[in-house]
Amino acid sequence: MLWLWNVLILLATVVVMEIVAALSHKYIMHGWGWGWHLSHHEPHSGKFELNDLYAVVFAVLAIVLIYVGVQGMWPLQWIGAGMTTYGALYFMVHDGLVHQRWPFRYIPRKGYLKRLYMAHRMHHAVRGREGCVSFGFLYAPPLNKLQATLRQRHGRKINEDAATDQPDAVQDETHAK
């Protein structure tokens, strides 16, 4: 029966991490932590950006929780494992699918993955840290609501190219010309 509790703790942690990540993204990364996160909203040529330090902070916290859990505080290891699972999902969806930081390109054309992809593209449609939409990474509100919110906040002043199906690399080349 203990295995069931472990699985439930891990899955609950993944769900809670989406909430924590969305709130952290909105209020920390687009707030007092903008210094690190700014690198994520600007074009870059290297493999890493300063924003990646947020992943390091969460990874260290997960490692500490797993270590303390293995030392006797049983549920903490599964909370740390849930954070690690969320981190892997984040890496696959956000870094890989949305921002094409993999060595291959895939752009989803329908369903849940397209919704995530397009919602995050809309997040990047706004220059700067104010007025962005869709701060989650594994959940995205309906796209028509995000578009309406962007129009209401910005009219046509948003970077409309950022909310298209174009991957970052193609967009950066287009703007460079």
Query: Are residues 43 and 172 in contact, defined by beta-carbon separation less than 8 angstroms?
Result: yes
pLDDT tens per residue, range 139-164: 999 999 999 998 888 876 545 555 55
CA angle 135, 140, 146 (to 5 degrees): 80
In the numeric block, the tokens 């699918």 are attached to 97
**Where does the pLDDT of residue 59 fall: very low under 50, low under 70, confident under 90, or very high at 90 and above?**
very high
Q: Residue 114 burial by CB count (10 A; 0-12/13-18/19+): exposed, middle or buried?
A: middle
Terminal Cα-to-Cα distance of the chain (whole angstroms): 61
pLDDT tens per residue, range 5-31: 999 999 999 999 999 999 999 999 999
pLDDT tens per residue, range 89-130: 999 999 998 898 888 788 899 999 999 999 999 999 988 899
Q: Region 84-90: what's the mean pLDDT?
A: 97
For 61-69, which contacts have Cβ atoms below 8 Å and span 24 or more sequence positions? 62/87
Rg (CA), the chain: 18
**Where does the pLDDT of residue 33 fall: very low under 50, low under 70, confident under 90, or very high at 90 and above?**
very high
Rounded to 10 deg, the angle between the 111-123 and 143-154 helix axes is 10
Per-residue model confidence (pLDDT) at position 83:
98
